[in-house]
Structure 1
């Protein structure tokens, strides 16, 4: 989510209050519709659809303007203007409002169902408020990808750590279910199995590295909450679309486990992420530590993962305004008033 600020002419600035942006990640207040001192108007999309509320109140010298949507609708962007008279809201010469020139605006990636602006100032009399939004209706889709279902490819083993796209990884082949050490954990509520480049490790003694890749498509707008739950023997890096999203253990240098095993293989770890719309590539670099044995059941290697991806399958987007009086221009944009 990012915040943008537009600068206006001295004339417009004089009409607007002295204000302060809220933090980049806002706190959503728990104020309820109908509480004393609040004003609530419907958030109207496409001229006729009620898709939520705009709630306004003042607390401790701070003006709060909260957007919230009903189930199935999401905020994609919002723009807000507050002034002491109607002319203080940026408009064209023909009296249509210009949301892109409102002093406050945010874009949401991923989309959200609520957001709140906090504006500091000295307030009295009647305030004119234009609350604009772009909203999308959609179905939340959750997809799960698990190791062992046949979609992962594996590169290696190789004898030293290499960057993701280094040609030294060679060519890939389908990952296979591997021999599972009795102490390796499984992922709760999952069908995931431990996978590797072969059923038994090719050579259990030296350091070895393997790279696993998985591609998946997000056929809508990504939402918050996507996560990778993973574990490996011994250590892993997790990459999404070429960016490191987390690691566990010593991955990029040799590690001699003969002095003691740090037991990273016993830890299921969560790696939150936000995918992109379209095709995504998830990659794991797994390091098996050297150990003085050739027995594949003494120093095995493997990877287990469960990937949960959530996105909004959009059924259409609309422009929305806080319900009130129409501006004097030709479109249906609206403003409302709040009396302090």
Structure 2
């Protein structure tokens, strides 16, 4: 009986090493303190974070919160772009799933953009948003298209042409995420040993 209990404990230890965890690297825009967002890269450079909720483009943009803030191409809040033709801005967020079972990965959240944006996970479209006010948030979610190693989450923002007062920006909030770690070889060995001991104990009890 003691061996049976020990075997069960080893099997439980092996199983617990593969419990789900939050996906590291999925950061909300502007969540870290300061006016620079190093998580979201625009043309290989860090993004700038809006600071003054009382200045343009607020209140047209949804209000910043403790969870997320709007990010912009430049440090000048409300700077006007694309006066004569639409512009495209691709923000990139990378996260690493090395050592995790990508088939178990998933996340959900929401995003908004001025004017529109499509979200791509490793080149696959997973969401579309077309506004920047409080009622313009759209769902952002994925439960496939993940890859082993470094993953790319890209937000391709289109800013329509307008003569003046034409800022652009992106806002992203993740609400949930999870992924299961791949157990180390030692954990598999413990699980196998535990199952063998359980089977051997069961056969002895039947004989």
What's the TM-score, normalizing by structure 2? 0.64
CA distance in 2, matches of 1:136, 1:248: 39
Contact 1:225 1:273 in 2 (8 A): yes
Match of 1:182 among 59, 65, 70: 59
In the alignment, does 2:25 pair up with 1:146? no
Q: Given the alignment of the two structures, is residue 271 of structure 1 paired with residue 140 of structure 2, yes or no?
A: yes
| Distance (whole Å) between structure 2 residues aligned to residue 141 and residue 187 of structure 1 | 28
| Counterpart for residue 179 of structure 2 | 311
Q: Which has the larger radius of gyration?
A: 1
> Which secondary structure state, in structure 1, belongs to the residue aligned with residue 120 of structure 2?
strand
Q: Secondary structure at the match of 2:39?
A: coil
3-state DSSP of counterpart to 2:161:
coil
Q: Give the alignment's Cα RMSD to 1 decimal.
A: 3.6
Distance 2:157 2:114 in 1: 7
Instruction: Determine the C-alpha separation between the residues in 2 that align with 1:333 and 1:243.
Output: 50
State the distance in 1 between where 2:58 and 2:124 align: 31
- Find the residue that maps to 1:147 and give its secondary structure: coil
Deviation of 1:284 after TM superposition, in Å, equals 0.6
Q: Tell me how far apart the structure 1 counterparts of residues 180 and 139 of structure 2 sit (CA, whole Å).
A: 22
Unpaired stretches in structure 1, ≥5 consecutive residues: 1-43, 52-69, 74-134, 156-171, 250-263, 327-331, 336-340
Distance 1:45 1:187 in 2: 54
Hey, what's the Cα distance between the residues in 1 that align with 2:80 and 2:201? 66
Q: Hey, what does 1:241 align to over in structure 2? A: 122
CA distance in 2, matches of 1:136, 1:194: 39
Structure 2 equivalent of residue 164 of structure 1: none
Q: Secondary structure at the match of 1:151?
A: strand
Higher relative contact order (CA 8 A, sep 6+): 2
CA distance in 2, matches of 1:246, 1:45: 49
Select the structure that is richer in strand. Answer: 1
CA distance, structure 2, for counterparts of residue 334 and residue 183 of structure 1: 69
Residue from 77, 80, 87 that aligns with 1:201: 80
Shift of 1:210: 0.7
Superposed displacement of residue 227, structure 1: 2.2
Q: 1:207 and 1:173 mapped to 2: Cα distance?
A: 21
Measure the CA separation in 2 of the matches of 1:181 and 1:268: 16
C-alpha separation in 2, matches of 1:242 and 1:265:
24
| Higher share of residues assigned helix | 2
Counterpart of 1:218 (choices 97, 112, 125) is 97
CA–CA distance in structure 2, aligned partners of residues 136 and 210 of structure 1: 43
Task: Give, in whole Å, the separation in 2 of the partners of 1:206 and 1:45.
Answer: 71
Contact residue 180 and residue 194 of structure 1 kept, 8 A: no
TM-score, structure 1 normalization: 0.42
Following the alignment from structure 1 to structure 2, what is the Cα–Cα distance between the partners of residues 187 and 201? 20
Alignment coverage as a number of residue pairs = 170
